[in-house]
Amino acid sequence: MTFLIKHLLTINLVITNFCGIIANDDLELLILHTGCIHARYEETFEPRTGKYYGGVDRLSYMVKKAREQREAGEGPAVLYVDSGDIFSGSIWFFVHSYRGAAKIFNEIQPDAVNVGVHEFDAKMEGLTKFSELINFPIISTNINFHNETELEKKIKPAIIKVIDGVKVAILGYIIPEWILYAEKGGIEFLDVIPLLNKECRRLRFEEDVKVIIALSQGTIDTDRLIAHGVDYINVIIGTGSAAFLWNGVPPDLETPVDSYPVKVTRRDGSLVLIVHAYQYLKYMGKLQVRFTKDGKIRAFFGTPILMDSSISQDPKMTKLIEELRHDVISYDQKVLTTCSVLLEGSSCNHQECNFGNLVMDAIVEYRASQYQGPGWTDAAVALMNSGSITTDINSPQHEDQIFYGDIIRALPYSEMLYMVEIKGSDLLFILEISTVGLEPTNTAQFLLTAGLKVMFDFNSRFGKRVKLIKVRCAECDVPEYFPLDLKKRYKVIITNYLLRGRSGYTIIRDVVWNPISIGERDTNVIIKYLEKVKYVIPEVGGRLIPYDKRFNGNRQHSFGSRFNFDCYCFLLMLSSFVTLITK
């Protein structure tokens, strides 16, 4: 009760501060924001709560309602912005691609959309055509377009809006490391901080802009660095890390990583507000800010809105979704193969799962079918982060049938596959990191594997958990498993998501050799595999070996025994920090 009273008093103080300090020439701005939508156009069912959340019809209703209140003189000026990653992540994008996204967001009319990492999943041709179809601004500040002249005409480094007589600029950026190995044609992503500083000074002194809002494809931590390192930015609206920010007791299952908004004070005393709004339209960010005439933040108040059934739906958008649904349904009616067992994908984030095994075996089989050389393949090992699989497929409930739509929904991100070389010692460390993901409280970092047998001891400290690794041979007549050779380079198939160092695997980005695209995406690979087979019964077993205490004395495969592990982690963090602050 004491905590609740204290929390309510804090909210009351903020509201009083916001409402009490008013000047005639102040700019009052309501910022509605989203990010990481990932083509989740229809509402999403959450089995843990039994409720439906999100949907672009709820988003459209909230944006239109706020704008109507403004027009009626009953609310402040409104900006609705999206920080990127509106492409990829559902069957809707697989079916309708950029055309469906253009139709939906043309109806909502964002004030600006940042180019996200997944906007390149439709390749340069798709992004270019999307930019031609939309009638709202799309922005990115740290792109060098080189010869992509058509795209350069559509994507601007920043836009300026005059709101109640005050010039407000919106710009956007992507952390360059996040866009590695994307199908981005000839364009180049430049260092963020120098480009933002240059653009912010131009906006401030040449265009007389008073308020600058940045749309970010970065983590909370990188947004903090940019808030400290770039002058004149007032608000950073982020996405990309699915961060959930909240004040007090959260309204649903998500655990806040920080307050909403995150507050950063620069050396000159100016304030920067950082906000994120989770992902998949489960929440919409709502931040109300009052700026002085010279662009300083006088007061602020806000909180994300849980987009559950209490939020109304825009009937016009609902009608558009139903029109698009017709082609989606056709994929749910087309049989791909048969299977008499549950394909369990929801448990893949903390244990070996049969659906993950099926997917990984299909990836190795695809490469083997391409291979021409000695032995049966050149890459007998595959790795994928468990977050790539988003749901189960309960084929026994559907007369043992698996439909095309089932696979597309279960593997919605459709990541490009690469073959890389990884040294045995680095593969050991990568698998050590994976032990963090085996804890049930962690949902992102556990690795799905093929061609590996791994023994973990979870009673040991991090750095000494991997006790045994056996690797399947590649260029051999009969596939067998042999102990990991720490000095040998192994050819491994991974997704470009892992190759970019995401889900906690920044080491992969730094240690791989000779990355080569195998020319196909994970979703297409599993579909082609299931088209060839008439019946599948994937099982669990053999990839995670039960711990045997007899291996306690075998220190060959303990990362901590080969290296001062704590020193390594310190140097790794120091290197990352130096890289960020020197850009």
Domain stop point among 282, 303, 323: 323
Residue 171: inside a domain: yes
Same domain, 359 and 268: no
pLDDT tens digit at each of 583 positions of the chain:
443 433 433 443 344 345 444 556 899 999 999 999 999 999 999 888 999 999 999 999 999 999 999 999 999 999 999 999 999 999 999 999 999 999 999 999 999 999 999 999 998 999 999 999 999 999 999 999 988 888 999 999 999 999 999 999 999 999 998 888 888 888 999 999 999 999 999 999 999 999 999 999 988 999 999 999 999 999 999 987 788 999 999 999 999 999 999 999 999 999 999 999 999 999 999 999 999 989 999 999 999 999 999 999 999 999 999 999 999 999 999 999 999 999 999 888 888 999 999 999 999 999 999 999 899 999 999 999 998 999 999 999 999 999 999 999 999 999 999 999 999 999 999 999 888 866 554 544 789 999 999 998 878 888 888 999 999 999 899 999 999 999 999 999 999 999 988 888 889 988 999 999 999 999 999 999 999 998 999 999 889 888 877 665 454 454 443 444 454 455 455 555 444 444 4
Same domain, 512 and 546: yes
Residue 429: inside a domain: yes
Residue 38: inside a domain: yes
Which token pair is 416? 């490009």
Residue 391: inside a domain: yes
286, 273 contact by CB (below 8 A): no
* Total number of domains in the chain: 2
Crossing angle of helices 91-108 and 123-133, rounded to 10°? 30
Residue 14: inside a domain: no
Same domain, 130 and 259: yes
H/E stretch holding 405: helix 404-410
Same domain, 178 and 219: yes
Same domain, 198 and 222: yes
Which stretches does DSSP call E strand in 409-461?
416-423, 447-450, 452-456
Residue 6: inside a domain: no
Residue 229's domain is classified under what CATH number?
Answer: 3.60.21.10
**Residue 356: closest CA among 396, 394, 384, 395:** 384
Same domain, 411 and 275: no
Give the domain range for residue 361: 334-581
H/E stretch holding 299: strand 297-302
451, 380 contact by CB (below 8 A): yes
Q: What is the pTM assigned to this prediction?
A: 0.86
For 117-186, give the DSSP string. GGGGTTHHHHHHHHHHH-SS-EE-SSEE-TT-HHHHHHEESEEEEEETTEEEEEEEEE-GGGGTTS--TT
Residue 513 CA to residue 572 CA, distance in Å, equals 19
Q: What is the 3-state secondary structure (H, E, C) of 167-207?
A: EEEEEEEECHHHHCCCCCCCCEECCHHHHHHHHHHHHHHHC
Same domain, 298 and 338: no
Domain stop point among 274, 289, 323: 323
